[in-house]
Amino acid sequence: MSSLTRARATNIDLAPTSLMATYYEQRASAGLIISESTWVSSKAIGFTNIPGIYTQAHVEGWKLVTNAVHKKGGKIFLQLSHAGAASHPDFFDGDIPRGPSAINPQITAFTPTGFKDSVTPVAFTIEEIKETIGDYQKAAANAKAAGFDGVELHAQIFTLIPQFLSVATNQRTDEYGGSIENRARLLFEILDAMKQVWGNKRIGVKFTPTAFNPGILKPDEHTIPTLQYILDKLNSFDLGYLHLVRPATDLTGTAIEPLQENYFRQIRDRYKGTLIANLGFTRDTGNKIIEEEIADLVSFGKDFIANPDLVERFSGNWPLAKPDADTFYTGNEKGYTDYAAIG
Ligand SMILES: Cc1cc2nc3c(=O)[nH]c(=O)nc-3n(C[C@H](O)[C@H](O)[C@H](O)COP(=O)(O)O)c2cc1C
């Protein structure tokens, strides 16, 4: 089960709740659950009602979740996340969010009072970058204290790590900007910090390198060489897995058109470790890519929202229920824990 933000941490502490424990428990038959994206610090926030993993209340709340999943024989990793400049001053008492450079990513942030446009961030100082890496390490340690089986680094869409990887949002002239090696430095320093806590095999990393995000952070001529550099370097990191989201759109005529055909085969040929393929798979296409030995595992997102027993449904080749998009990020039990299992 891939990470699904459901925005149900509806308390001032952003602590996981017993309702969230019920939701994850219902889905425990997934071989491995990756939790929803979770803030590594109070400075990482960029969306409303997303849980954190930086206070004791967070650790206690997540224990409810990990205990519930383990009781049912499941495994669960925590996804660690930072919004970077994809945020809004409303989350920081008016303070301006930090980003790689003072460049507005031009996205909308879901604040407690509705959707608001992102602003021009203040560029991270080197000291703040080091502090942020320390926040990831503390969050990884808290995840361990909360009983998780491992951690997944969120390097997805338009959040902190992709902001550093992209020339559109990173115009730094120090060791965190410019060359590919410099733009990718933060990613690998964070992974190093997480390794101090978990060792390499209990860490995964998730990317969407081909996503045409809202705002200015889009694939460009730097994307393919950057991806190749990351894949090569990840080989030496020997992580538990690489979790990759495939192109969601037609890449014809774009700067990353060469990735269009046989995307996962191209990745497989370069990346030597365990590969999880994601986006739009079905029972049959998922089985096929594994039989062809292109991916080692397949993850499912949306299908787990309305089908807590997705694994049983796939086993029996039973029909799938459709999720209600209106309750993805709002509501309480409705559209969350009220989807029934068939059995
Ligand atoms: C409601 C919703 C919330 C999501 N939240 C996250 C998230 O917090 N972190 C993440 O890495 N991906 C998130 N995703 C992406 C999914 O994990 C997955 O990559 C995507 O839905 C494609 O897989 P699918 O076609 O099986 O749904 C979210 C997707 C949806 C629909």
- Closest approach atom of ligand 1 to CA 37: 8
Query: Would you state the pLDDT for residue 331?
Result: 82
pLDDT digits (tens, 9 = 90+) for 230-282: 999 999 999 999 999 999 999 999 999 999 999 999 999 999 999 999 999 99
- Closest approach atom of ligand 1 to CA 248: 22
Of the residues 3, 283, 329, which should be mutated to test ligand 1's pocket, given the most ligand atoms within 8 Å of the CB?
Answer: 3
Cβ pair 121, 84 in contact under 8 A: yes
**CA 152 / ligand 1 centre spacing (Å):** 14
Helix 56-71 and helix 126-145: axis angle, to 10°? 40
pLDDT digits (tens, 9 = 90+) for 50-108: 999 999 999 999 999 999 999 999 999 999 999 999 999 999 999 999 999 999 999 99
Instruction: Give me the half-sphere count of Cα atoms (radius 13 Å) on the Cβ side of residue 184.
Output: 18
Residues within 6 Å of ligand 1 by CB: 2-5, 36-37, 79, 154, 156, 206, 245, 278-281, 300-303, 328
Residues in CB range of 135: below 8 A, 6 or more apart? 40, 41, 43, 44, 54, 82
Q: How far apart are CA 105 and CA 244, in angstroms?
A: 23
Cβ pair 85, 98 in contact under 8 A: yes
pLDDT digits (tens, 9 = 90+) for 203-229: 999 999 999 999 999 999 999 999 999
Of the residues 4, 80, 207, which should be mutated to test ligand 1's pocket, given the most ligand atoms within 8 Å of the CB?
Answer: 4
Which residue's CA lies nearest to atom 1 of ligand 1? 328
**CA 126 / ligand 1 centre spacing (Å):** 32
**CA 125 / ligand 1 centre spacing (Å):** 31
- Closest approach atom of ligand 1 to CA 154: 11
Concatenate the DSSP letters of all residues of 267-334 into one string: HHHH--S-EEEESS--HHHHHHHHHTTS-SEE--SHHHHH-TTHHHHHHHTPPPPPP-GGGSSS-SST
Is the pTM value of this prediction over 0.85?
yes
Which residue's CA lies nearest to atom 21 of ligand 1? 301
Is the pLDDT assigned to residue 343 strictly greater than 80?
Answer: no
Which residue's CA lies nearest to atom 28 of ligand 1? 4
Mean pLDDT value across the chain:
97
Q: Which amino acid is at 167?
A: V
**CA 156 / ligand 1 centre spacing (Å):** 10
Of the candidates 140, 137, 142, 154, which has an alpha carbon nearest to the alpha carbon of residue 63? Answer: 142
Residue with tokens 């965190």: 176
Instruction: Give me the half-sphere count of Cα atoms (radius 13 Å) on the Cβ side of residue 294.
Output: 17
Specify which residues 155 forms β-bridges with: 207
**CA 33 / ligand 1 centre spacing (Å):** 12
Instruction: Give me the half-sphere count of Cα atoms (radius 13 Å) on the Cβ side of residue 325.
Output: 0
**CA 173 / ligand 1 centre spacing (Å):** 33
Of the candidates 326, 330, 270, 318, which has an alpha carbon nearest to the alpha carbon of residue 294? Answer: 270
Q: Which residues of 12-25 are buried (b: 16+ CB within 10 A; e: fewer)?
A: eebbbbebbbebbb
DSSP label at residue 209:
T
Of the residues 1, 2, 8, 322, which should be mutated to test ligand 1's pocket, given the most ligand atoms within 8 Å of the CB?
Answer: 2
Which residue's CA lies nearest to atom 29 of ligand 1? 4
Is the pLDDT assigned to residue 183 strictly greater than 80?
Answer: yes
Vertex 92 angle, CA 90 and 95, to 5°: 95
Is the pLDDT assigned to residue 327 strictly greater than 90?
Answer: yes
Instruction: Say whether 22 sits in a helix, a strand or coil.
Output: helix
